[in-house]
Amino acid sequence: MFNHPRRCASSRPGRLLTALTLGAALLFGMNTTASAADQQSITLYAGQHQQMVRLLVNAFEKKSGITVNVRPGEGAALASQILREGKRSPADVFFTENTPELVRLDNEHRLAKVAPNTLAQVPSQYSASNGRWLGVLARQNVMVYNPQKIDKADLPQSLMDLASDAYKGKVAVSPAEGDFLPLVKAMAIKHGEAKTLQWLKGLKTNAKIYNEDEGVVNAVNNGSAALGDINDYYYYRVREQTGKDAMKAQIAHFASGDVGNLVNVSGVAILDSAPHPQAAQKFLKFMVSKQAQTMLANSQIDFEYPLRPGIAANEQVEPFDQLNPPKINVNDLGDNSLAIKLVREAGLL
């Protein structure tokens, strides 16, 4: 190389320039997907599990010819992000696992109305009473337990009991999960704030803390915890992966009408600042269509109950009409602010 200084000197920057051009081209290439802002595309902030979102999006794209740009994330994080973005937000549609995030956006007046005939596709108690968000799917809160670690007869009757001394060191929970906070709110509705806080503090001494429900299911399955509190679909998802034979953990229910049997709703809404409201409405309509709801119920990836009447749930889960949830409307769950306050006060966050 030192023998040909001339050639080096001329070719090196040349090559560098080529590389820079190439890099710039790639950069712009990567950007086009993000900034293609024609009417034939919408941006979806999706807090639900990515695979079911993809299933849904692919079917919608095929049917409507509208491209959906998905920004995956956790529901609460995406809601916060939309609030921080303000009216500049690129999001059209916000789809999330739990309604409190939707309520939070609604409280900040960030949601547009859902088309009435879309709302009419599902029973009204699962959507916003003001029509600003739409219930799509539902699932129930359950106990998961390891029969080798605890006898079925010794399981608690109420969610409240998880905080009692009998279950010290045996419980697994994931208090940062979006699914846990609605339980806290429901508890506060049923038993009052003071008792809820006491319950949370008891849980803090009793429980092992995990980041997500998958962690709870696995902990119970491998015996590091005797029982845990989860939304049921995590159980089926983990079982699907672990294999039914290796799945030692079982599902159990609290007493009929207990807060522990709470039904959580996956909901969707259109942002007031949505750049493409018409396309967004089409997407919502599709989500509660017979096609989409049947497809989701039959997939082995979601295990949620379709809210559109007349569509059978996945054969692995218990029939929807056999559930014994507490008498609490999803609208009453509100946003998570109280739940977060209590959980933090108890030292769980």
Partner 1 sequence: MNSPSPYRAAASTAAAPRDHAPPTVLLLLAILVSALVLAPIAVTVFDAVRGSVVGTLALLFRPVIGHLLLNTIGLAVVCAVGSGLVSLAMAWLIERSDVPGYSIWRVLAPLPLALPAFVSSYAWLSISPSFQGAAGAALVVSASYYPLVYLPLAAALRGLDPAQEESARSLGLSPLAAFCRVTLPQLRPALLGGTLLLVLHVLTEFGAFALLRFRTFTTAIYSAYNAGLQVKQGALLACVLLFLCFLCLWGEQRLRGQHDYASIGAGVRRMPRRHSLGWGRIPALIFLGTVFTAAVGVPLATIGYWLTRTDAAAMTTTAVSTAQIIRVSFSSIGYGVAAGILTTALAFPVAYLAARYHNRAVQLIERTTYLPKGVPGIVVALALVTLSLQLLYPLYQTAILLVLAYAIIFMPLAVVSIRATAGQIEPGLENSARALGVGRFGVFRRVTLPLTAPGLGSATALVFISVCTELPTTLLLIPTGAHTLATEIWAESSNFAFAAAAPYAAVLAAISMLAAWLLANRFGRAAVA
Nearer to partner 1 among residue 81 and residue 331 (C-beta)? 81
Task: Tell me if 221 sits within 8 A of 249, measured CB to CB.
Answer: yes
Minimum separation from the CB atom of position 323 to partner 1 (A): 25
Told to check if 73 binds partner 1 by CB under 8 A, we report yes
Site string for partner 1, 271-310 (x = CB under 8 A): ----------------------------xxx---------
Nearer to partner 1 among residue 195 and residue 201 (C-beta)? 201
Minimum separation from the CB atom of position 319 to partner 1 (A): 23
Contacts of 233 (CB under 8 A, 6+ apart): 139, 302, 303, 304, 317
Whole-number Cα distances in Å, 114 to 107, 263, 330: 16, 22, 17
Please give the Cα distance from 248 to 242 (Å, whole number).
10
Minimum separation from the CB atom of position 29 to partner 1 (A): 7
The beta-strand segments (E) located in the chain are: 41-46, 67-72, 93-96, 111-112, 134-145, 171-173, 207-209, 227-231, 250-252, 263-271, 305-306
Minimum separation from the CB atom of position 157 to partner 1 (A): 29
Please give the Cα distance from 317 to 303 (Å, whole number).
7
Minimum separation from the CB atom of position 133 to partner 1 (A): 16
Whole-number Cα distances in Å, 105 to 93, 116, 274: 12, 20, 13
Nearer to partner 1 among residue 50 and residue 256 (C-beta)? 50
Told to check if 210 binds partner 1 by CB under 8 A, we report yes
Smallest Cα–Cα separation from 95: which of 329, 341, 296? 296
Nearer to partner 1 among residue 29 and residue 310 (C-beta)? 29
Residues between 31 and 60 with contacts to partner 1, criterion CB under 8 A = 31, 33-35, 43, 49-52, 54-55, 58
Size of the site for partner 1 (CB under 8 A): 75
Residues between 108 and 127 with contacts to partner 1, criterion CB under 8 A = none
